[in-house]
Amino acid sequence: MAKINCIGILTSGGDAPGMNAAIRAVTRSAIYNGLEVKGIMRGYRGLIYDEIEPFKTNSVSNIIQQGGTILKTARSKEFQTAEGRQIAYEALQREGIDALVVIGGDGSLTGARIFAQEFNYPIVGLPGTIDNDLQGTDLTIGYDTALNTIMQAVDKIRDTASSHERLFFIEVMGRECGFLALNGAIASGAEAAIIPEMMLQQDQLADLISNGFRKSKNSSLVLVTEGDITGGAMAMAERVKIEYPQYDVRVTILGHVQRGGSPTANDRILASRMGAAAIDALLDGQRNVMIGIQNDEIVYVPFSKAIKKNKPVQQDLLNTLKVLSI
């Protein structure tokens, strides 16, 4: 196995709070271990357009508390083509970069997996996404911060919901994954979460209404995962207006407010641990794995497993939400 002297680091896909803490940890840990570091701008795009710069210890000073990513990010269409990946590989050779650390979500790690296989190139991934939808890790970097943002927003909406005795559908991010909605609902004491994972099993909206979810309350808050599977908060509200006109319904779509902001202590610590673990993994000969965390222990998860769809939500969370919303 070729010796690693220089690593490249990039962030790709949607930004997530804690990505900067991860960049800092990867950079400092690499330098601590005698490696050279290069920062690649705008995700895989930076490899194709040669936007690569040397990183020193102070390149990552004062960023642990910042949301977003100092490396910028993109969803590169070119990298999805064989020609694009060939150009990227040539850039890595030219720059003397022997291995990559890729911070991103399932799209970014899918790209990493393909590239690693095509060129037999060492890559370690870090799970950076607010969606918490990667398999083999209990948590992803950014998820905890987004959850706290959702909780604070719902706390505020509750004031209006209860003053006006309204039913609110609050749409949160997560693509096909209901973690943000489900845990956001538990954390904010909402009545229910409508999530993709439950969509096929039951008509969650009809269940809520038929259980008389407003009987003992003067207001209700329901978190809904965005996307085609649930149809989103607007679709829920439209249905209620037609089928249950007695309710005074409103919709709030939280949108990109969920992606920004200073990372929580938990996200900073997770990102720092995972960033350091990425360098340990590369030096240890690990290839093409994502760093995960399970039961508070760092684990290595093969890319093929990490990017599998349909990460299961815990049944006890669903039960807890149901029991606590009576």
Radius of gyration (C-alpha) of the chain in whole angstroms: 21
Sign (positive or negative) of CA dihedral 271, 313, 302, 105:
negative
Active-site choice (15, 98, 106, 131): 131
CA distances from 82 to 49, 79, 266, 292 (A): 15, 7, 38, 29
Span from 129-137, 185-193, 236-244, 269-277 in contact with ligand F6P (CB under 6 A): 129-137
Q: CB burial class (10 A; 0-12, 13-18, 19+) of residue 40? A: buried
Span from 87-95, 123-131, 162-170, 267-275 in contact with ligand F6P (CB under 6 A): 123-131
Is 223:184 a contact under the CB 8 Å cutoff?
Answer: yes
- Is 174 a binding residue for ligand F6P by CB under 6 A? The answer is yes
Distance CA 57, CA 283 (A): 19
Q: How far is the CB of 146 from ligand F6P (least distance, A)?
A: 8
Antiparallel, parallel or unpaired: β 36-40 and 52-55: antiparallel
Q: For ligand F6P, which residue of 129, 140, 219, 252 counts as binding (CB under 6 A)?
A: 129
CB nearer to ligand F6P: pick between 38 and 175: 175
Span from 79-87, 92-100, 125-133, 281-289 in contact with ligand F6P (CB under 6 A): 125-133
Is 274:162 a contact under the CB 8 Å cutoff?
Answer: no
Q: How far is the CB of 148 from ligand F6P (least distance, A)?
A: 15
Instruction: Kindly report the number of other CB atoms within 10 A of residue 313's CB atom.
Output: 20
- Is 175 a binding residue for ligand F6P by CB under 6 A? The answer is yes
Q: How far is the CB of 37 from ligand F6P (least distance, A)?
A: 26
Q: Any catalytic annotation for residue 248?
A: no
Q: For ligand F6P, which residue of 8, 14, 128, 232 counts as binding (CB under 6 A)?
A: 14
Antiparallel, parallel or unpaired: β 297-302 and 289-294: antiparallel
Span from 94-102, 124-132, 195-203, 305-313 in contact with ligand F6P (CB under 6 A): 124-132
Query: Mapping DSSP to helix (H, G, I), strand (E, B) and coil, where does residue 219 land?
Result: coil
CB nearer to ligand F6P: pick between 14 and 43: 14
- Is 144 a binding residue for ligand F6P by CB under 6 A? The answer is no
| Interacting residues toward ligand F6P by CB under 6 A | 14, 105, 129-131, 173-175, 226, 259
Catalytic residues, which ones?
Answer: 131
